[in-house]
Amino acid sequence: MFPTFLLPADFPLTACTISLVGESLRIKASSSQSSSICPACGCASDRRHSKYIRTLVDLPTSGYDVKVLILSGKYFCDNAQCSRKIFTERFKQEISPYYRRFNRCKELLGNFALELGGNKGAAISRLVRLRVSPSTILRIIKGRHLSIPNVTSGIIGIDDWAFKKGNTYGTIIVDLHQNKVIDLLADRESETICQWLKEHQEVEVISRESWWPLFKRGPGRCSAGHSGS
């Protein structure tokens, strides 16, 4: 019996097998969806055109890297107004179109990047058998939506963050109460940080570096003591 806990919960799969190929676990599965949504017009279609195998990388398991081969469908779009006649099957969760990894891999790699920067994040990815290049790490982090409009705790830390060490730096903003990253800024200019602070008036306490004492934000002004480059 296939250990279904290996794959993301509630993922629509049937008839799974698992085998060891070299140092990789190969999981074969097929989609159990009987219809899909056209990405161009949003109409549902259950008229299948053909099947194809989609290969995705998943999180490593027991020291093995994991590849999942999913037998998926291509569907006709019967909406006469739609520009797409045939489209590949879409899934509601865990798989983004045109992406070669499950979303939970992207989430983990994004966390590596936020904590370590591009080059170190790529180095750690090799150690955990989820090998990606520094440029892939950067693409992931640039595409990440840090959608937290308000900082609920009002206590933040600001520090430099290396998109590419020795080359490109941005600014990372951490909610120190929730202990999580809430935004990445494209550069480390004081003006950029001040603009961010103007948009987050709920912030009351800012720590410029982890070893700096917390200090109060002054009324009506930006007090980020940013050392810049």
Nearer to Zn ion, 35 or 150 (CB): 35
Best CA proximity match to 118, nearest among 94, 137, 104: 137
Q: Residue 38, interface with Zn ion (CB under 5 A)?
A: yes
Sign of CA dihedral 58, 61, 65, 68: negative
Positions in 186-205 near Zn ion (CB under 5 A): none
Positions in 70-129 near Zn ion (CB under 5 A): 77, 79, 82, 84
Instruction: Candidates 34-42, 51-59, 108-116, 219-227: pick the segment binding Zn ion (CB under 5 A).
Output: 34-42
Sign of CA dihedral 41, 45, 48, 50: positive
Instruction: Candidates 36-44, 47-55, 125-133, 194-202: pick the segment binding Zn ion (CB under 5 A).
Output: 36-44
CB of 82 to Zn ion, least distance (A): 3
Cα separation values, 43 from 32, 39, 50, Å: 19, 8, 18
Residue 207 CA, chain-centre distance (Å), reads: 26
Nearer to Zn ion, 79 or 190 (CB): 79
CA dist 88 and 207 (Å) reads 48
- Which residues 6+ apart lie within 8 Å of 133 measured at CB? 122
CB of 46 to Zn ion, least distance (A): 13
Nearer to Zn ion, 82 or 184 (CB): 82
- List contacts with Zn ion (CB under 5 A): 38, 40-41, 77, 79, 82, 84
